Every structure is written in C-alpha cells, then in structure tokens.
Structure 1
Amino acid sequence: MKIFHIPCLEDNYAYLIIEETTKEAAVVDPVEPEKIIEAAKQHGVNLTTVLTTHHHWDHAGGNEKMKEMVPGIKVYGGSLDNVKGCTHQVENGDKFSIGAHVNVLSLHTPCHTKGHISYYVTGKEGEDPAVFTGDTL
C-alpha cells in the first residue's frame, strides 16, 4: 500500500491510497477532482473508490464530479451524514476492501459532524496502517 497526499484548496489535502498488486486506488475527500484524476494518471492507477469523511463542501464537494469523471466509482460516506454523491453508506465497524490487499474499517467519530467517519486502512502484513480523520483530529 502506498499513500500520497494531494494539496487541495488553500489548506486541505486529499489522499490517494494505492493497492500495488492490482493498481486499484481510493481517494479520501476529493474536493478538487481534476487534481485527483491527474494524480491517478501519474501513478498509473485505476480509481475505484472515494472515502468521504464528512459532508462539508471542502471534503465532499467533489464527489458528484468524481462520479461524472469516473463512471462506476464507489463513493463511501457515513450513514448519518448526508454525504453528496454517496453510493455506499457506512456505519461504525463496516469493513470493505480496495483491490486485493487494502482493507478499510469505518469508524464513526462524531465530533466535527454528527455522522463523521474516520477510515482505518491496512495493507499487507508488515506495512504501516493509516487512519484518515478528516477534520475530527
């Protein structure tokens, strides 16, 4: 698993999570879709998934455009958070995979918004995990 940060707006980041075996990738909070698509092309990966931490425009504001630019992309978001463009609502403890070796655990972390979700992401054995918290931490 590789993770790259992509600067967005004036003070935000999106994160590209790459599953190296299948070259599938997810992006966290893609507020500027054009930048995300370009980064995916540069890394030679297929974007399959959006992980949205919460509904605020500076995190979820690019979801609809991502769906237009990448037909069939899955957009995850908290079931209590009314995330724009969401195709897969998650709750605390829900698990899913990206490619063959990246596993995602959804964690309900209500602080910044009532339905905020953090994503705990693990790769192959021996690789460092990561947690994507949006504006909660």
Structure 2
Amino acid sequence: MKIHHVACLEDNYAYLIIDESTKEAAAVDPVEPEKVLKAAQEHGVDIKLVLTTHHHWDRAGGNEKIKQLVPGIKVYGGSIDNVKGCTRKSGFL
C-alpha cells in the first residue's frame, strides 16, 4: 500500500491510498476532484471509492463533482456528520 498526497486549494491536501497489487485506490477528501483524478492517472490506478473525513467544504466540497466524473463511485462519510454527496454512511468515520 502506498499513500500519495495531492495538493488542493492553497493550503490543503487530498490523498490517494493505493493498493499496488490491484491498482485500485481510495481518494481521501478530494476537494478538487480533477487534480485527484489526474494524480490517479499518473500513478496508473483507478479510484474506486471516496473517504470523507468530515463535512466541511474543504473536505467534502468535491464529492458531488467526483460522482459526476466517476459514475457509480462510492462516497463514504460519517453517519452523523451529514457529509455532502455521501452515498454510504459509516459509523466509524
């Protein structure tokens, strides 16, 4: 497993968690989804899901857009956090 950071906004980061054996990845807080998808392409991986740490716009603000860019992608967020664009709620996030 590898983790790569992706610079977003002026002072923020999203992350790719990459499974090297499957070439699949999770995106964490992809506030600028185009940048995250470009980084995934550069690393030769497919993003399968999004993990959103909390509901603030600088974390969850790209969820709706990434759902448009990657149809069917799963977007996880905390069950009590009201994460924008969330498709799956988890009790541990």
Which letter maps to 2:16? L
Identity %: 72
Provide the C-alpha distance between the structure 2 equivalents of 1:39 and 1:31, rounded to a whole number of angstroms: 13
Unaligned runs of 5+ residues in structure 1 are: 93-116, 118-137
**Matched residue pairs, number?**
93
How many angstroms does 1:72 deviate by?
1.1
Aligned to 2:47: 47
State the 1:52 CA deviation: 0.1
User: TM-score under structure 2 normalisation?
Assistant: 0.97
More helix by share: 2
TM-score (norm 1): 0.67
Separation of aligned partners in 2, 1:3 and 1:25: 9
Name which one, 1 or 2, has greater alpha-carbon Rg.
Answer: 1
1:77 equivalenced with 2:85 (yes/no)? no
Query: Which residues of structure 2 form unaligned runs of 5+?
Result: none
> Within 1, Cα distance between the matches of 2:19 and 2:50?
14
Q: Deviations over 1:107-131 (max 9, x none)?
A: xxxxxxxxxx3xxxxxxxxxxxxxx
Partner Cα distance (2:72, 2:20) in 1: 21
Secondary structure, counterpart of 2:3 in structure 1: strand
